[in-house]
């Protein structure tokens, strides 16, 4: 099972199907109407969401269009379909930053280009280097979850939150260059970026040698056909999905049609040792922790915790924030650190720094966190999805019945099967986690060499230590055991939590 | 020239998705409300505000729409026993509609019909129906 070059022993890591080899797909991605059209569709939906949030006030949100679409439909579709299937597919049509971007460009679909390059309005300041990471997104997303008792139940709270995000995106786009908001601030962007490492799609260069010999680099600086990468990346160097917002500008600007949109096996980016960082590790910890806390607050049997999250008392609310933060920012990372320390000790890999091992193994939490969110999402979807039929017919609670479904009664779907579905998700996730953990153990302790080849730890090279294949394999197996134990115990805890 | 055409289309699409959606929905609702006199009633337990408003006026022979919204996290009900109309349950966050045409003048009590709190029995309001004036006829 634990083959270096195959996911779960049967999906070759380097398998790719280039979807843009089909002319209509390439034409679609090269068109300036993409992603304008999905954005306009989402603008319409968000207008209705904001109206429903405003008119819904403080009423319970289960019959409110804003609450239902944002926290049931969008969140579930995001976690179950968009991120694992389409990477940052949500960012393609996200309407939150577009008002700012259109103000920057002073155009909706066209390209303003002159001799100096693409035209942008605003101060165009560079984002501070010290903040060029995921930390702001980590803390902002965590802070957003402090309000989970309100934003998921009170329409006006959702209205305020979305309005604040749109306003912040506009202000930042007028001060900073391009999509600084999406890249460094948006609370939703960070986890999408990290989890898109697990996605089955990617934007990559077809032939790197073409880019090497090409000096104009339209994908970076822009040209008449499109804008230089709005996410301030170098598309010809893409190795991971994390920060690519999938705006497809590089498809438009590339003079050689050298960009590709590929189908691939899940999780291949997790094995790419390129710019792995602690901020991304903490994103993985936070996302796993929040999935647990969300379950406890929304679906768990502990009323006291619900009262705390709903701020029934100030003391309770402060306790909720304190526990929530402590659990996500300190407890999970600390426990994981213990297991990584044990792994490194078991592998007897002192030449590998603890930090390096810690960061590398934290990426095993990506599949674990994602399946935890998918399992959690089933707990929202199956009992509550029938409300969607109601709110489609009466989006503003004005007594409308647009599609004749306003009186559709609340009807839970397949809730009897929910524990089995959740258990299946978590167990499949565990298999994937273990598979990636073994591959990452090999990468960390033996430089990633496939079985049967001579293995040389990267750091050991410097120390002039060369292991035989047998020694290398043994150290990988020993180092893998504590990480596998952590992942198995975590999955067991989630199973206990979700299905009792 | 082509760019100008596409810019126009883009602007129309964006305005349709935002401004037109907002004003279209508000206009449609105003149009509906004008067709049939609509009164909004918000239901809350007595300690949290009771029916709001607790007095509603109507005119004999004039069709009336009561749009009743439950703004709490417990179920409420609504009934005007003397006029024989009511809704068995209004769930948290739900909006229910009652359409009626009063046929006689008088003051009619409406009340919550679901045990919602210890003060449930005091959750009441009045529908005051008057004879139509010459102008109203």
Distance of CA B74 to the CA centre of its chain: 19
Taking 60 as the threshold, does the pLDDT of residue A473 lie above it?
Answer: yes
Any domain includes A432: yes
Residues of B in contact with A398 (CB under 8 A): 29, 32, 67, 95
CB pair distance less than 8 Å for B93 and A394: no
Distance CA A287, CA A187 (A): 12
**Residues A239, A243, A249, A253, Cα dihedral to 10°:** -40
B20 touches chain A (CB under 8 A): no
Which one, of B51, B62, B75, lies nearest residue B103 by Cα?
B62
Which one, of A386, A377, A492, lies nearest residue A83 by Cα?
A377
Distance CA A197, CA B46 (A): 53
Say whether both B102 and B62 belong to one domain: yes
Say whether both B92 and B107 belong to one domain: yes
Q: How far is A33 from chain B (nearest CA, A)?
A: 9
Taking 80 as the threshold, does the pLDDT of residue A10 lie above it?
Answer: yes
Any domain includes A252: no
A451 band by pLDDT with thresholds 50, 70 and 90: very low
Residues of A in contact with B14 (CB under 8 A): 40, 43, 108
Any domain includes A262: no
Q: Residue A260, SS3? A: strand
Taking 60 as the threshold, does the pLDDT of residue A459 lie above it?
Answer: no
pLDDT at B36: 84
Residues of B in contact with A397 (CB under 8 A): 69, 93, 95
Candidate from A43, A110, A410 with C-beta closest to B3: A110
Which one, of A452, A453, A451, A455, lies nearest residue A472 by Cα?
A455
Any domain includes A127: yes
Q: Which residue does chain B place closest to A40, by CA atoms?
A: B14
Q: How far is B45 from chain A (nearest CA, A)?
A: 13
Most B CBs within 10 Å, among A36, A59, A162, to test the B interface = A59
Any domain includes B137: no
The residue segments making up the domain with residue A364 are 6-197+269-436
CB pair distance less than 8 Å for B13 and A40: yes
pLDDT at B136: 65
Say whether both B65 and B95 belong to one domain: yes
Taking 60 as the threshold, does the pLDDT of residue A448 lie above it?
Answer: no
Taking 80 as the threshold, does the pLDDT of residue A31 lie above it?
Answer: yes
Any domain includes B135: no
Per-residue pLDDT of A187-206, as tens digits, reads 999 999 999 999 999 999 99
Which one, of A457, A163, A170, A489, lies nearest residue A335 by Cα?
A489
Taking 50 as the threshold, does the pLDDT of residue A79 lie above it?
Answer: yes
Taking 70 as the threshold, does the pLDDT of residue A3 lie above it?
Answer: no
Any domain includes A203: no
Q: What is the DSSP letter of A340?
A: H
Say whether both B26 and B42 belong to one domain: no
A454 band by pLDDT with thresholds 50, 70 and 90: very low
Length of chain A (residues): 500
Distance CA A465, CA A447 (A): 13
Distance of CA A1 to the CA centre of its chain: 27
Per-residue pLDDT of B44-94, as tens digits, reads 999 999 999 999 999 999 999 999 999 998 999 999 999 999 999 999 989
Any domain includes A296: yes
B24 touches chain A (CB under 8 A): no
Per-residue pLDDT of A313-361, as tens digits, reads 999 999 999 999 999 999 999 999 999 999 999 999 989 999 999 999 9
Say whether both B50 and B93 belong to one domain: yes
Any domain includes A471: no
B33 band by pLDDT with thresholds 50, 70 and 90: confident
Q: ipTM for the complex?
A: 0.90
Per-residue pLDDT of A242-294, as tens digits, reads 999 999 999 999 999 999 999 999 999 999 998 899 999 999 999 999 999 99
Say whether both B50 and B87 belong to one domain: yes
Q: Which residue does chain A place closest to B92, by CA atoms?
A: A60
User: Chain A interface residues facing chain B, Cβ-Cβ under 8 Å?
Assistant: 32-33, 36-37, 40-41, 43-44, 47-48, 51, 57-64, 107-110, 394-400, 410
Say whether both B59 and B76 belong to one domain: yes
Our count of domains for chain A comes to: 1
Q: How far is B65 from chain A (nearest CA, A)?
A: 10
Percent residues over pLDDT 90 in chain A: 85
A371 band by pLDDT with thresholds 50, 70 and 90: very high
pLDDT at A499: 87
The residue segments making up the domain with residue B110 are 36-130
Task: Supply the mean pLDDT for chain B.
Answer: 92
Please tell me the pTM assigned to this model: 0.91
CATH (domain of B105): 2.60.40.420
A24 band by pLDDT with thresholds 50, 70 and 90: very high
Distance CA A186, CA A183 (A): 7
Element (H, E) at A333: helix A332-347
Chain B (52-81) residues lying within 8 Å, Cβ to Cβ, of chain A? 65, 67, 69-73
CB pair distance less than 8 Å for A59 and B13: no
Per-residue pLDDT of A100-145, as tens digits, reads 999 999 999 999 998 889 999 999 999 999 999 999 999 999 999 9
pLDDT at A177: 94
Say whether both B49 and B4 belong to one domain: no
Assess contact for A354 and A338: CB atoms under 8 A.
Answer: no
Taking 90 as the threshold, does the pLDDT of residue B18 lie above it?
Answer: yes
Say whether both B59 and B5 belong to one domain: no
Say whether both B98 and B48 belong to one domain: yes
Distance CA A261, CA B134 (A): 73
Which one, of B120, B128, B107, B127, lies nearest residue B44 by Cα?
B120
Say whether both B30 and B44 belong to one domain: no
pLDDT at B137: 62
Our count of domains for chain B comes to: 2
pLDDT at A461: 53
A&B contacts, CB < 8 Å: 76
Say whether both B108 and B80 belong to one domain: yes
């Amino acid at each position: 099972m634990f083959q270096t070059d195959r996911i779960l022993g049967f999906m070759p890591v380097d398998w790719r199907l280039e979807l843009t080899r089909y002319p209509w797909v390439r034409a679609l991605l090269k068109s300036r109407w993409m992603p304008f059209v999905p954005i306009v569709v989402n603008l319409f939906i968000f207008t209705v969401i904001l109206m429903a949030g405003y008119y819904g006030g403080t009423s319970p949100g289960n019959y409110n269009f804003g609450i239902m679409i944002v926290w049931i439909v969008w969140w579930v579709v995001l976690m179950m379909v968009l991120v694992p299937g389409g990477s940052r597919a949500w960012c393609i049509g996200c309407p939150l930053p577009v008002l700012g971007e259109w103000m920057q460009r002073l155009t909706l679909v066209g390209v303003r280009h002159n001799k100096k390059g693409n035209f942008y309005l605003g101060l165009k300041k560079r984002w501070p280097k010290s903040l060029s990471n995921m930390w702001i997104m980590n803390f902002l997303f965590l802070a957003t979850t402090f309000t989970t008792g309100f934003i998921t139940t009170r329409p006006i709270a959702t209205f305020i939150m979305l309005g604040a995000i749109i306003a912040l995106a506009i202000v930042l786009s007028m001060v900073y260059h391009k999509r600084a908001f999406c890249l460094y601030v948006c609370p939703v962007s960070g986890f999408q970026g990290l989890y898109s490492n697990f996605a089955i799609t990617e934007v990559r260069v077809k032939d790197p040698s073409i880019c090497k010999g090409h000096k104009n680099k339209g994908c970076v600086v822009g040209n008449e056909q499109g804008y230089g990468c709005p996410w301030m990346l170098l598309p010809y160097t893409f190795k991971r999905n994390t920060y690519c917002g999938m705006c497809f500008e590089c498809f438009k600007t590339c003079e050689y049609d050298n960009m590709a949109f590929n189908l691939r096996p899940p999780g291949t980016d997790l094995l790419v040792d390129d710019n792995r960082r602690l901020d991304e590790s903490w994103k993985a910890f936070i996302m796993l922790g929040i999935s647990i806390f969300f379950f406890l607050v929304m679906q768990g049997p502990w009323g006291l915790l619900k009262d705390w999250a709903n701020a029934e008392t100030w003391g309770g609310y402060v306790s909720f924030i304190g526990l929530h933060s402590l659990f996500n920012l300190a407890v999970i990372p600390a426990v994981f650190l213990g297991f990584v320390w044990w792994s490194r000790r078991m592998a007897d890999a002192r030449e590998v720094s603890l930090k390096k091992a810690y960061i590398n193994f934290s990426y095993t939490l990506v599949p674990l966190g994602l399946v935890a969110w998918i399992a959690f999402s089933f707990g929202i979807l199956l009992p509550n999805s029938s409300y969607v039929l109601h709110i489609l017919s009466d989006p503003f609670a004005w007594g409308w019945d647009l599609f004749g479904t306003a009186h559709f009664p609340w009807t839970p779907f397949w809730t009897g099967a929910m524990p089995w579905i959740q258990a299946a998700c978590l167990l499949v996730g565990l298999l994937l986690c273990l598979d990636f953990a073994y591959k990452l153990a090999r990468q960390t302790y033996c430089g990633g060499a496939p079985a049967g080849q001579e293995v040389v730890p990267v750091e050991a090279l410097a120390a002039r230590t060369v292991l035989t294949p047998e020694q290398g394999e043994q150290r990988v197996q020993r180092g893998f055991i504590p990480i596998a134990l952590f992942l198995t115990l975590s999955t067991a805890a989630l199973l206990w939590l979700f299905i009792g | 020239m082509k760019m100008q055409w596409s810019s126009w289309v883009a602007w129309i699409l964006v305005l349709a998705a935002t401004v037109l959606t907002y004003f279209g929905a508000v206009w449609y609702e105003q149009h509906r409300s004008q067709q049939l006199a609509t009164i909004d009633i918000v239901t809350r337990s007595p300690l949290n505000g009771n029916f709001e408003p607790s007095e509603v006026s109507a005119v004999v022979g004039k069709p009336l729409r009561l749009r009743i919204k439950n703004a709490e996290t417990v179920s409420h009900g609504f009934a005007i026993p003397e006029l024989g109309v009511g809704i068995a349950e209004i769930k948290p966050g739900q909006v229910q509609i009652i359409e009626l045409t009063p046929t006689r003048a008088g003051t009619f009590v409406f009340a919550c019909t679901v045990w919602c709190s210890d003060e449930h029995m005091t959750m009441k309001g009045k529908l005051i129906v008057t004879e139509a004036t010459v102008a109203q006829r």
